[in-house]
Chains A and B, each alone.
Chain A
Amino acid sequence: MHQSILVFRNFRYLKWALSVAAVSILLYVVHEPEYGLPNGGTLLGYVLGTFGALLILWLMWFGIRKRRYGAGGAPVEDWLSAHIYLGLTLIVVATLHTGFQFGWNVHTLAYGLMMIVILSGVFGLFAYLRVPELMTNNRRGMTLVQMMREISDLDTACREAALSLGDEINRIVLKASQNTRIGGNIRRQLSGDDPECATSEASRAVRHLADHAPPSQAEGFRALMGLLARKEELLSRARRDVRYKALLDIWLFFHVPLSFALLGALIAHIVSVFFYW
């Protein structure tokens, strides 16, 4: 029924991409530079370079197309599928354009930036293919907001359960409900975990105190521990959800700004080439 973006339209854009790559390689093999080694300055070099630059502009246009919601023409899915495959082809086109000549200059900077952008895109693709299903399984039909609401309900229930268990327990439970965090900085979000989780700490402390509690409080402790365990479980799911969302989003923070950096470097590369000319 449903197929991934890679299989989309029976690999139509993969076929396009392979054709482009094949033609480029073929030309590179048969092309004999008038003098010297293959490089960006030969006839083929210019052809591949122009094509590559136009391809970069077209690939970046995706960001605009995606936001043109009322636009006709091909659906966004077509655009994304083509964006992925033709973006990968750029590796072949641009590398052949360099004639494998690299150095510490603005030309290789543009090449390097391009490769980073492509790699970040590959990571994004990987995340897009892998994460959605993990996310659905982890959510078990709940939304993040529902999880938060349930966590907050459990907080209230914990505080009520703690009322009959003495001041120390009350202090621990209150602290847990005030200091528990979901998400945070990027590292915390990506880890999907909180090693200093206030609720886990409270849970450990309550378990410890339960061992020394009078039998009359056993029932109360059991109830509280159950609630805390349920909350811990929900917290870890919520944090995992945050992690998945972060994985789906984070690569764009590299992919998009670096694309613009690449655009700058590309302009510099082209302008400087014409100065040498």
Chain B
Amino acid sequence: MTERVKIAIVGSGPAGLSAAGRAAASGVSHVLLEQRDHISDTIYKYQKGKLVMATPDILPLRSELSFQIGIREEVLGNWEKQINGLKANIRYNSEVVAITGEKGNFTLKLSDGTTLNAEFVVFAIGLQGNIRLLGVPGQDREWVQYQLNDPDEYSDETIVVVGAGDAGIENALALTKQNTVVILNRGSEFARIKQGNLTAITAAIEKNQIECIYSADTVRVDDDGIVVKTPQGETKVKCDRIIARLGALPPRKFVESCGIKFPYSDPSSLPELSGQYESNVPGLYVIGALAGYPLIKQAMNQGYEVIEYIQGNQLKPADEPLLEQKFANIPGNRSVSEILAMLQESVPLLSGLTTLQLREFLLDSNVHAPRGGDVIFERNDYTNSFYSIVDGGVNIQIDPEDETKVVSLGQGEFFGEMGLLSGRRRTATVMASKPSLLIETPRRSMIKLINSVEAVKRVMDEVAVGRQIQTYIAPGIPLQDLQDLIRTVKVEKFEQGAVLFREGEAGDCLYLIQRGSVTVSREVSGKEAVISYVAAGNYVGEMALISNAPRSATIRAAVAVEALRLDGVPFQALMGRNEAVRRTIEARYRGRMLENIETTEQPEAGGIIQFLIEQGLGEATDVLLIDEALCVRCDNCEKACAETHQGTSRLNREAGPTYQTIHVPTSCRHCEHPHCMVDCPPDALRRNANGEVYITDSCIGCGNCERNCPYGVIHMAAKPPKKPGLLQWLLFGRGPGPGQAVSGKWGPDSNKEGGAPKPKKAVKCDMCKDVLGGPACVRACPTGAALRVEPSEFFRVVSQGL
């Protein structure tokens, strides 16, 4: 006799449990099928005492079951009690092996041979199915494991945790109690994790409890450790154990066998679902992690909602009020779901996102409704957000000399990606061409999306390549004329110091620097001498293509570089076809040739460039230099800095290296991709339109930025009390004088609040963005020895002769 229910729920994770709870509470006939002998196997396998997070905090919970942040045992215990209290119909040890039939009459075949009839089926099976392996030689050594049940099993070992997701971080944190832990992060920041974990891991790294290697790709597992590749080169991390937590792939085969389609073949792609979680097979619903959202709270909400939808009840998702607020200035008085559908329809980039991803993406973004003629951002601004055009259009002014030369973008296109990629100034001014609707997404959320959704990354890369070629090499040439060239483009990454090409080699391509910067050097009497510097947004290698001669110089990455490699043949064809392109490139070629001759004549200029590149100026946007031939060592620059910034100088004049008479004091360089921004939990480090990297008041004093800054220009300081004025000091001797060091009564330590010392916050140079007339250090220098320069401009001046 085959049991018959209205709703069969597959999987008893948070989503399935919540669905069963709602079904039981509303009296719908149902069954919850769980292949193990306990609920929520994924959470069950969490390590002992693991803190289960309840993010996002702003999202309200909608479920018959309660859930709040707590340790694994508590959470599971609670759920078990509550689900039993609701008298939900749970069948343990029941793995579903096949589903056939159609809406209203599905047949589920279980592993024990029995069958089950259901009108509707809800998949809540999570992602546990296929755990991702390391994918490198040695990945199946016995001491490489992909799961960690009890961290207390291990002690006094060196353990490498691969993967900087939530699971990896939680394992790493638990293991530090008894072991030495190294965590490998493929990215340069922790981009996809819960706030609580972010705070905990950054604190642990700060206290040196965990070592974190950023931008680390695993190469292979040897007998005694793991070999990783970082921008600094390959290195082996010796260890006793490797724990890889790289997430899992959806148990896609099974789901597909039920007829559910996936839009992309790429493995991280997610099934296509309606806003009510129904798949392309009517009557089959997918919720939870498999639907594309791995957070517990969201999964529980979906469990509740899917039961309501199946019963034909309309229900607004839990984040609805938040989105309604965001969409307040979208005209037309449409509902959130209508707007979402409209957004996906009008912006192709967003069409690959699941509804849930889209909702999350929009929660981070802002909606703008500029009128025609409004400026969105200006050329040379340093802002780095990303814009999608929902409606209307924008004009991009491609020629700073001529405002009428524009490229128009319309509905569905996006812009602002170049600043995001290169970390440099905006390359053009963008204005709304008519009343428009734009979505502005902050850098951090965009990076997260690019990293999470392969499809977005691909589209971004493809369009970005074309746009960059258009902007930097062939202005005014329509994209379709560049297709031959674009098809050959490869994005290549170079570590600091790596060679893009060498002098004397045959030249078959040119490189467009997308991120970072390179040095140009030539062999001069047997030694490689730097002759110039090329920043992101420029190309190198065109000389050999034009003259059909071997490479005339060696190009080296001054910092980590991402470059587009353009094939020589279609490039030469483009020059042959298009007179304007040929002329610009040849003009550039002649300029470079003269520059090369000039700098070869003045070896000292190359020496200075080389020295400054070694000091990291290759990634700087604005740096303080001191001409020691003029500096009278009065320290007025430091004093001015301290006086304009609450008593703490952000620069150390004397420290730092000197070449000839050029001195690089310890002071912020406002990097293109600021290291300090990499993991700031409260997102307090910002860059404003003029390029200054500064710290907002939301700093929590965690010290991450201080640690991440390779130039040692950020430090932690408390705010001292206000000093008495100049005349009070002059006439009555009150307090420390202007520029005098503060200590004792006027020092930061004296200033106690309720007995406790005042909290220390990170301080750094903000280029005196709020001070009239510019940086106080430069303005206070009596002899003109201090100067702030933009390196690419400075290098140009240097190579033309001092």
Contact = CB atoms under 8 A, between A and B. Distances in A.
Interface stretch (B30-38, B188-196, B773-781): B773-781
Interface in A104-135: 127-128, 131-133, 135
Q: Which of A66, A69, A79, A132 has the most CB of B within 10 A?
A: A69
B737 interface: yes
B629 A70 contact: no
Contacts of A128: 632, 783
B738 A4 contact: no
B758 to A, nearest CB: 23
A269 B251 CA distance: 99
Contacts of A80: 782-783
B776 A66 contact: no
A271 interface: no
Given A2-B630, A135-B633, A70 B771 contact: yes
Interface string B655-689: 10110010100000000000000000000000000
Interface stretch (B156-164, B228-236, B513-521, B637-645): B637-645
Given A69-B644, A76-B781, A132 B739 contact: no
A68 interface: yes
B726 to A, nearest CB: 6
A70 B633 contact: no
Contacts of A28: none
A139 to B, nearest CB: 8
Contact of A1 (B655, B773, B797): B797
Interface string A49-81: 000000000000000101111101101110110
Nearest to A140: B658
A94 interface: no
Contacts of A135: 628, 633
A245 interface: yes
Nearest to A7: B784
Contact of B783 (A72, A77, A133, A136): A77
A66 to B, nearest CB: 7
A5 interface: yes
A76 B780 contact: yes
Interface residues of A, number: 32
B523 interface: no
Interface in B710-741: 726, 730, 737-739
A248 B634 CA distance: 9
B632 A3 contact: no
B627 to A, nearest CB: 4
B708 to A, nearest CB: 25
Given A2-B627, A132-B629, A132-B631, A76 B654 contact: no
Interface string A145-180: 100000000000000000000000000000000000
A8 B632 contact: no
A248 B632 contact: yes
A221 B730 CA distance: 58
A124 B738 CA distance: 22
A4 B737 contact: no
Nearest to A9: B784
A70 B657 CA distance: 28
A3 to B, nearest CB: 7
Q: Which of B628, B629, B631, B782 has the most CB of A within 10 A?
A: B782
Given A3-B784, A75-B778, A76-B779, A70 B631 contact: no
Contacts of B661: 133, 136
B654 A70 contact: no
A35 B772 CA distance: 54
B524 interface: no
A169 B778 CA distance: 53
B802 interface: yes
B726 A72 contact: no
A141 interface: yes
Contact of A4 (B630, B639, B778): B630
B594 to A, nearest CB: 20
Contacts of A73: 773
B785 interface: yes
Interface in B617-639: 627-634, 636, 639
Contacts of A101: none
B786 to A, nearest CB: 9
Interface string A230-263: 0000000000000001001000000000000000
A203 to B, nearest CB: 30
A238 to B, nearest CB: 14
Interface in A23-59: none
A76 B643 CA distance: 15
B651 to A, nearest CB: 13
Contacts of B773: 72-73, 75
Interface of A: 1-5, 8, 64, 66-70, 72-73, 75-77, 79-80, 127-128, 131-133, 135-136, 139, 141, 143, 145, 245, 248
30 contacts: A1-B627, A1-B797, A1-B802, A2-B785, A2-B787, A4-B630, A5-B630, A5-B782, A5-B783, A66-B636, A67-B726, A69-B640, A69-B776, A69-B780, A70-B643, A70-B644, A72-B773, A75-B781, A77-B783, A79-B782, A80-B783, A132-B628, A132-B632, A133-B628, A135-B628, A136-B658, A139-B658, A141-B657, A143-B655, A248-B634
Given A76-B636, A133-B628, 16 more contacts: A4-B630, A4-B783, A5-B783, A8-B784, A67-B737, A69-B639, A69-B644, A70-B772, A72-B773, A75-B778, A76-B779, A128-B783, A132-B628, A132-B632, A133-B661, A136-B661
